[in-house]
Amino acid sequence: MTARFHRDAGGMPPRLARVAQLFGRLPGVGEKTALRFALFLATAEETAARELGDELIALRDHIKPCARCGNIAETESPDVPALCSVCADTRRDSSLLCVVARVQDLLAIERSGAMRGRYFVLGRLLSPLEGISSEDLPIDALKARIRNEREPVTELLVATPPSVDGEATALLLARELSATVRVTRIASGIPHGGDLEYADQVTLGRAIEGRKNL
């Protein structure tokens, strides 16, 4: 929820209120935190605010979606297609393609160190309630990526979240692509250190279905 500030609230200068309001647009930032950020930049050393401003402008000019997978990438020129570090890494297994919904999911998987293939970011999930249908997903681009002769894909790992929309998207991808490539799904189960008492029935069921030998 966006934080709101009145122009005369507590004698706050209008410009300071505007900056705080802009900070309040950031996800997870409430009114108090937004005002704390704005006050810091207004009262700290001048270089703090100016460096932040310069970097925010450069961020929009040089950080673009990767032209190949949709991940975040940096480019020296806004007119040059960006290529992320994953796609540029020749040591990656190009035959394994992991499909995720968002860049945040990609970064989380990368932090685990368990994925040595490449990625494809959908950007959204199938969601009839939000008016997102199969036509709104980049399935044609994904098919073209799989058919790439230079880097043919033999396994498509669907890493969408275990939610209603995530499962619907996974089923759609399996239906559309299983005839041309092996489609697999990330496992879901009891988190490490978790108690069975607090696990939901779906999670417990999948944990049992996905059991393996010890």
Tell me the pLDDT of the chain averaged across its residues.
89
Q: What's the pLDDT tens digit per position in 21-40?
A: 999 999 999 999 999 999 99
Q: What's the pLDDT tens digit per position in 175-212?
A: 999 999 999 999 888 787 878 788 788 778 878 887 77
- Say if CB 129 and CB 85 are below 8 A apart: no
- 123 assigned to some structural domain: yes
- 54 assigned to some structural domain: no
- 136 assigned to some structural domain: yes
How are beta strands 117-121 and 155-158 bridged, if at all? Answer: unpaired
Q: Please give the residue range of the domain that contains residue 100.
A: 89-187
Q: pLDDT exceeding 70 applies to what percent of the chain?
A: 95
* CA pair distance 20, 30, nearest whole angstrom: 10
Helix, strand or coil, per DSSP, at residue 183:
strand
- Say if CB 97 and CB 145 are below 8 A apart: yes
At residue 2 the predicted structure's pLDDT band, cuts being 50, 70 and 90, is low
- 150 assigned to some structural domain: yes
Tokens matching residue 43:
């009262």
Residue 165 has pLDDT above 60, yes or no: yes
- 110 assigned to some structural domain: yes
For range 73-87, the mean pLDDT = 87
- 56 assigned to some structural domain: no
Total domains in the fold of the chain: 1
- 109 assigned to some structural domain: yes
Is the torsion defined by CA of 20, 21, 26, 31 positive or negative? Answer: positive
Element (H, E) at 65: strand 63-65
| Whether the model pTM is above 0.85 | no
pLDDT at 159: 94
- 97 assigned to some structural domain: yes
Task: Give the CATH number, domain containing residue 165.
Answer: 3.40.1360.10
Q: Residue 110 burial (CB < 10 Å; 0-12/13-18/19+)?
A: middle
pLDDT at 51: 96
The phi, psi pair for 2, rounded to 5°, reads -70, 130
Q: What's the pLDDT tens digit per position in 119-149?
A: 999 999 999 889 999 999 999 999 999 998 7
pLDDT at 4: 57
CA of 88: how far to CAs of 8, 82, 92, 142, 144, in Å?
52, 10, 9, 18, 19
pLDDT at 150: 87
